[in-house]
Amino acid sequence: METPMGPQSVVWRENRHRGIVCAVGWTSGDETVSVGDDQAMLRWSLGSSECSAVAQMRPGVFPTAMHWFPRVAQRQTPVNDVFLLSCTDGKILLVTATGKVEKTIEAHKGAVLRAQWSYDGTGFVSCGEDGNVKMWSRNGMLRSVLASTGRPVYGIEWSGDGSKVLYCSGEHCFIKVLKTQMSAIKWKAHEGVVLCVSWSSQSGLVVSGGEDCRYKVWDSLGRPLFTSGPHEYSITALSWNPDGDLFAVGSFNLIRLCDQHGWSHSLEKLQTGSLTNIAWSADGTQLVASCANGHLLHSHLVDRHVWWSNLEAIQTKRRTITVKDVKSEVARETVELRDRITKMALGFEHLVVTTIRQCYIYSSKNWNTPSIFDLKEGAAILLLLCEKFILLVDGSSMFVVTFEGRVQAQIKLPGTVVSGEAITTRTTGISNDTVVVRDRADPKTVHLFEALTGKPVGSGKIVHQCDVVEVRIDQCGPAMGRKIALVDANADLFVGIVNTFGESQRLLKIGAPIHNIHFNSTNNMLAGLQDTSVLVWTFPSVVFADKQLLQRTTITVDGGGNVSKSPQITNFHGNHVLVRRADGALVDLLVAPFFGGLVEFVAESKWDKAIKLCRLAKDDALWALLAGCAAAEKNFYAAEIAYAAISEAEKVVFLNELRRETNPQMKSAQMVAFSGKVLDFEGALTRSGDIFRAVMTAVAMFQWDRALDLALRERAFLDIVIGYRQRYLKEMGLCETDKRFIAHLSDVEIDWNHIHEKIAEENAKTRH
Ligand SMILES: *[C@@H]1O[C@H](CO)[C@@H](O)[C@H](O)[C@H]1NC(C)=O
Ligand SMILES: *[C@@H]1O[C@H](CO)[C@@H](O)[C@H](O)[C@H]1NC(C)=O
Ligand SMILES: *[C@@H]1O[C@H](CO)[C@@H](O)[C@H](O)[C@H]1NC(C)=O
The residue among 395, 421, 425, 427 whose CA lies nearest residue 410 is 395
pLDDT of residue 3: 41
| Sequence-distant (≥ 6) Cβ neighbours of residue 458 within 8 angstroms | 448, 499, 500, 501, 502
Could you tell me which residues are beta bridge partners of residue 374? 358
pLDDT of residue 396: 77
Task: Give 562 Cα–ligand 2 centroid separation in angstroms.
Answer: 6
* Cβ pair 126, 133 in contact under 8 A: yes
Residue with CA nearest ligand 1 atom 12: 476
pLDDT of residue 663: 61
pLDDT of residue 418: 45
Question: Given a cut of 70, is residue 379 above it in pLDDT?
Answer: yes
Task: Give 449 Cα–ligand 3 centroid separation in angstroms.
Answer: 25
* Segment 89-117, tens digit of pLDDT: 999 999 998 899 999 999 999 999 999 99
- Tell me what the mean pLDDT of segment 654-664 comes to: 67
Residue with CA nearest ligand 2 atom 6: 562
Residue with CA nearest ligand 1 atom 11: 476
* Cβ pair 268, 6 in contact under 8 A: yes
* Ligand 1 atom with the shortest distance to the CA of 479: 14
φ/ψ (deg, to 5) at 308: -155, 130
Nearest ligand, CA 533: 2
Residue 521 beta carbon below 6 angstroms from any ligand 3 atom: yes
Peptide bond into 224 cis (omega under 30): no
pLDDT-derived band at 573 (thresholds 50, 70, 90) equals low
Task: Give 365 Cα–ligand 1 centroid separation in angstroms.
Answer: 19
pLDDT-derived band at 431 (thresholds 50, 70, 90) equals very high
Residue 538 beta carbon below 6 angstroms from any ligand 3 atom: no
- Please state, in angstroms and rounded to a whole number, the distance separating the CA atoms of residues 628 and 651: 12
Residue 597 beta carbon below 6 angstroms from any ligand 3 atom: no
| Three-state secondary structure of 101-120 | EEEEEECCCCCEEEEEECCC
Question: Given a cut of 70, is residue 458 above it in pLDDT?
Answer: yes
Question: Given a cut of 90, is residue 487 above it in pLDDT?
Answer: yes
Nearest ligand, CA 387: 1
Pocket of ligand 2 (CB under 6 A): 560, 562
Question: Given a cut of 60, is residue 505 above it in pLDDT?
Answer: no
pLDDT-derived band at 680 (thresholds 50, 70, 90) equals low
Residue with CA nearest ligand 2 atom 1: 562
* Cβ pair 159, 220 in contact under 8 A: yes
Nearest ligand, CA 402: 1
| Three-state secondary structure of 649-693 | HHHHHHHHHHHHCCCHHHHHHHHHHHCCCHHHHHHHHHHCCCHHH
pLDDT-derived band at 401 (thresholds 50, 70, 90) equals very high
- Tell me what the mean pLDDT of segment 614-634 comes to: 88
Task: Give 328 Cα–ligand 3 centroid separation in angstroms.
Answer: 20
φ/ψ (deg, to 5) at 440: -80, -30
The residue among 156, 35, 16 whose CA lies nearest residue 97 is 35
* Segment 304-353, tens digit of pLDDT: 778 787 888 988 888 899 998 877 766 688 999 998 888 999 989 999 99
Nearest ligand, CA 308: 3
- Please state, in angstroms and rounded to a whole number, the distance separating the CA atoms of residues 158 and 146: 13
Residue with CA nearest ligand 2 atom 11: 560
DSSP state string for 388-431: SEEEEEETTEEEEEETTS-EEEEE--TT--SSSPPP-GGGEEE-
* Cβ pair 133, 152 in contact under 8 A: no
- Tell me what the mean pLDDT of segment 258-285 comes to: 86
Residue with CA nearest ligand 3 atom 4: 574
Pocket of ligand 1 (CB under 6 A): 387-388, 432, 476-477
| Sequence-distant (≥ 6) Cβ neighbours of residue 757 within 8 angstroms | none
Task: Give 303 Cα–ligand 2 centroid separation in angstroms.
Answer: 29
* Ligand 2 atom with the shortest distance to the CA of 561: 13
| Sequence-distant (≥ 6) Cβ neighbours of residue 67 within 8 angstroms | 25, 83, 84, 114, 115, 116, 117, 124
Q: What count of other Cβ atoms lies within 10 Å of the Cβ of residue 768? A: 5
* Cβ pair 694, 720 in contact under 8 A: no
Distances (CA, A) of 289 to 253, 270, 369: 12, 12, 38
Share of the chain above pLDDT 70, in %: 86
